[in-house]
Amino acid sequence: MLHQEKAEYAWFSDRNLEDFKLNCYIASKLKYIRCKHAGEEGLIWEGEYFYALLSDYEPVVQWMMGQSASPIVQRRIDNPAQNEYRYYQMTVALKGNWDELSQRAEIFLNDPPAKMKKYEVDQRFYFALANGDKAGMENALAELTHPKLALKRNGSFDFAFSGKFIACFATLYAKVARRHGFELDIQTPYIPTEWIPVAPLFEYSDPYDFMHKYSF
């Protein structure tokens, strides 16, 4: 959390994109180390991708994409009424498994579970992404960045800091789209356009000695 806060400060106070990305990387690698050390590897959900994707450090993103679910979690992944269903959509989207992404989004949209209806817009984004529908993606992002909806959706604990300043889900989705070559028309202060291009730093350094023995 220290380096998540440092990333926020680097950008929102100093507009220092390099320092922002570096601290996003540090926060992500520390998560990797914790998971390796404590044996906590498993399904990555969308909020956990936030700092890894914004760091543009590809090895940590690839590690997250490669995580597998336990049999119990797998059953929840296949159930649209469970949060794990939507968590897994992020991994499917990052992998570019378009048929799977489209089918899963369609299943959800054809019969949205009552307690999950607020995530319909997310599945519309995924469906549009899977089908290369640029206008559909832009419409979904416009809905997610509407102040009223962004305020509700950013109450997630995972976005405790960034959620005060931006539309976090919309920013994540815009980043995923760019990774697949879609340059969306984003006209909103709720998505920092400087964060969206995929532009890794020349060097990512570890600030703590104990980090050096862990590599991807």
Instruction: Tell me the pLDDT band of 161, cut-offs 50, 70 and 90.
Output: low
Domain boundaries, the chain: 2-187
DSSP string, 194-213: GGSS----S----SSGGGGG
- Does the pLDDT of residue 149 top 90, yes or no? no
Q: Is the pTM of this model over 0.85?
A: yes
- Does the pLDDT of residue 157 top 60, yes or no? no
Distance CA 160, CA 166 (A): 11
Cα 213 to Cα 73, 99, 199, distances in angstroms: 31, 39, 26
pLDDT of residue 159: 53
Q: Of 208, 198, 214, 212, nearest to 21 (Cα)? A: 198
Q: What is the pLDDT of residues 53-103, one digit of tens each?
A: 999 999 999 999 998 888 888 899 999 999 999 999 999 999 999 999 999
pLDDT of residue 63: 94
More confident residue, 45 or 50: 50
